[in-house]
């Protein structure tokens, strides 16, 4: 009921088959989490609110019923990419993560849930943003990764086509972080559009979707080599 009510509160309507996919996802998440570190959140109600509903709250910022191409950078256990794919089957999603074991889990979830037009890739964000790989290939880049906005922008904006968006999920108000990131966003070809602040359905948990539009090509030298974006933010 928590999931169904939360979905309704987001203004969405999912089929019983989609709800079943979320349930199977939860089962696989807790099963694999017993022998590898996927998430510290395992209680069903908390997973529904903090992972599933949080992930699909992207619909507050973007019309997710359109056929967008989406890359989820630093997806971890598949958040937000897999819940977005379940809720909006029309999205074409690429999941990118640097840990091979997590990618194996993601591939299992994709196969067991019968998801189409979604792939999991093992690699670093800095490497796959090269021109001959995935650079400027996507309408949307999303990330729930824990990093400051300037660092995340350098990882994510290079993947976005001109006119597309990078949307960062944040769990706190980031006015200082936003100010510090303005320079990086501009250098990378982006423009800060807006923030959407809200509470997750069925909770008092604050969330902030930070929306950056790609308005110019990202200079070829970005992202810099592994480690620099986090050690020396632009």
CATH number of residue 219's parent domain: 3.40.50.150
Residue 75 CA, distance from chain mean position:
6
Which DSSP category does 201 fall into?
Answer: T
pLDDT of residue 174: 67
Domain ranges, residue 163: 2-231
State how many domains the chain has. Answer: 1
Unique residue bearing structure tokens 């359109």: 66
Q: What is the pTM of this model?
A: 0.95
pLDDT means per 10 residues in the chain (234 residues)? Answer: 93 96 98 95 96 97 96 97 98 97 98 98 94 95 90 96 96 76 94 93 92 96 89 86
């Amino acid at each position: 009921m928590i999931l169904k009510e939360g979905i309704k509160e987001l203004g969405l309507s999912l089929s019983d088959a989609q709800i079943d996919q979320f349930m199977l996802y939860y089962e696989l998440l807790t099963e694999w989490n017993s022998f590898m570190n996927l998430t510290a959140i395992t209680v069903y109600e908390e997973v529904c609110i903090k992972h599933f509903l949080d992930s699909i709250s992207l619909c507050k910022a973007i019309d997710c019923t359109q056929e967008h191409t989406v890359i989820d950078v630093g997806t971890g256990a598949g958040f937000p990419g897999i819940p977005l794919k379940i809720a909006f089957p029309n999205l074409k999603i690429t999941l990118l993560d640097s840990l091979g074991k997590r990618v194996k889990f993601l591939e299992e979830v994709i196969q067991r849930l019968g998801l189409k037009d979604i792939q999991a890739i093992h690699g670093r964000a800095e490497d796959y943003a090269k021109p001959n790989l995935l650079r400027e290939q996507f309408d949307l880049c999303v990330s729930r990764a824990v990093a400051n906005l300037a660092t995340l922008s350098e990882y994510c904006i290079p993947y976005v086509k001109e006119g597309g968006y990078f949307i960062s999920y944040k769990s706190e108000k980031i006015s200082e972080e936003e100010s510090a990131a303005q320079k990086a966003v501009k250098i990378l070809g982006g423009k800060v559009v807006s923030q959407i602040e809200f509470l997750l359905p069925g909770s008092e948990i604050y969330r902030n979707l930070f929306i950056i539009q790609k308005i110019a090509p990202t200079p070829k030298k970005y992202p810099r080599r592994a480690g620099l974006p986090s050690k020396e933010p632009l």
